[in-house]
Amino acid sequence: MQRVLLIFGTRPEAVKMCPLARELMRRGGVEATVCVTGQHRAMLDDVLRFFGVTPKYDLNLLRPGATLTELTGAMLAHLPPVLRRERPDLVLVHGDTATAFAAALCAFELALPVGHVEAGLRSGDLAAPFPEEFDRRVVDMLSRVCFAPTAEARDNLLREGKAPEAVFLTGNTVVDALRATVREGFDHPLLRWAAGHPLVLFTAHRRESRGAPMGSMLSALRRLLRIAPEARAVFPVHGDPALRSLAERELAGCENLRLTPPLPVETFHNLLSACRFCLTDSGGLQEEGAALGKPVLVMRACTERPEALRAGVLRLVGTREDDIVSAALTLLRDEALYASMARPSAVFGDGHAGERIADVIERGECDIFAP
C-alpha cells in the first residue's frame, strides 16, 4: 500500500488536484491523504465541496494583509509537523504556487520523495509569471518524479537534466476537472443576462499585472464595451480588496458589464464554455479555453503554455490598451478568424491525466518510493 500525501492551497491547485485525489482514493493500492494550507480560503473551499474532497489537515494559514513572504514562512513552519506525523511514501504538489514551493522544500529537507504534478512548464522569464516561474523551476529540481502535462513540458525537464525514467507524460488534470464541471443545459442568471449577445469572460489578477499594466487592461475592457455595445462581459474579480476597488472605480458606468466576486468552479467553467472568448492574464484559463474550444486572448508578453499558441487557439496580446482592444474587436466581428480559433484542442490532454498519474503511483514505477 503506497501512502500519498497531497498538499495544495489555492483554488487553481484544488481544481487540478481534486480529480487526482479522488482517483487515488478509489485505488485499492493507494492510501491518499489531503493537506491544504489555505493559501486561498473561500475559493479553495468551494472547489473542495464541489469535488467532495475532505482534507485531513487544514492549516488555514492565510491572514488578512499577510504578504506572500509571510504566508510562505508560515507554511515552512507548519508543514513539517504534518509531514513528520504522516511520513508518506510520496508527497504530491502541484504547479507553481507558494504552497507547492514550501511543501516541496519541507519534504525534501525531511528526505521524503516529492512528486510534481504539472511539471516542466517554462516561460523562460523569471519575471513572468512572477514569482511562479521561479517556484515551478525549484519544485522540479526538488522532485523525485515529474508528471509532465505535455510533450514540450517533458522535453524541458529532460533538457534540464531530469532522468527519463523520472518523467511521465500524463496530460493535464484540468481537463479531468472540466469533464466533471461542464454540463449541457447549465443555467445561471449571468447566462440569462447575456443571452443573445456575445459574452466576453475577463479575468486579471497577476502580480506582474499590477500597476500600469492592470490600468491598461481595465481601460481596454471599458473601451471595448463602449465600442461594441452588443457585447456583454463578466469580470469575476479576485479577492484582493485593492483590485476590487480599482475595478469598481475604473469600470463604473459600464452597463454591459457585470463585476462579480470569484465564482464557484462549476459556474465559472460553464460561463467559459458559453462565452465567445476569454480575455485573461491567467495561466490555467489558457488550458481550459483550449480544451473547451474557446479562443483565449492572453494579456501577457509571454506564456509558459506555448502549445496552445501553436495550436492556434490562443494569442498573446500584451498589456497595451490599443492592442487588447484591437484583438478583442477582431474576435467579436471577424467570423472567419473566430472560427479558426474556436475549436477544441487536445493539446493539454484527454481528461484521463489523473488515471495515468495514479497508475504510476500505484505500481511504484520509477523507484519513486526508494529511500
Inter-residue contact 347 to 246 (CB < 8 Å) = no
C-alpha cell belonging to residue 231:
457585447
Q: How far is CA 96 from CA 134, 138, 364, in A?
A: 8, 9, 25
CA dihedral 354, 144, 161, 20 (to 10 degrees): 10
C-alpha cell belonging to residue 223:
473601451
How far apart CA 95 and CA 116 sit, in angstroms, is 7
User: Which positions are catalytic?
Assistant: 96, 118, 132, 205, 207, 238
**Do strands 232-236 and 296-298 pair parallel, antiparallel, or not at all (unpaired)?**
unpaired
Instruction: Name beta bridge partners: 30.
Output: 2
Q: How far is CA 25 from CA 120, 263, 298, in A?
A: 26, 27, 36
- Picking from 118, 116, 158, the residue whose alpha carbon sits closest to that of residue 139 is 116
C-alpha cell belonging to residue 124:
523562460
State in Å, rounded, how far the first CA of the chain is from the last one: 16
C-alpha cell belonging to residue 81:
509537523
Other Cβ atoms within 10 Å of 266 Cβ, number: 17
Alpha-carbon Rg for the chain, nearest whole angstrom, is 20
Q: How far is CA 187 from CA 113, 127, 177, 293, in A?
A: 44, 40, 19, 20
How far apart CA 37 and CA 7 sit, in angstroms, is 8
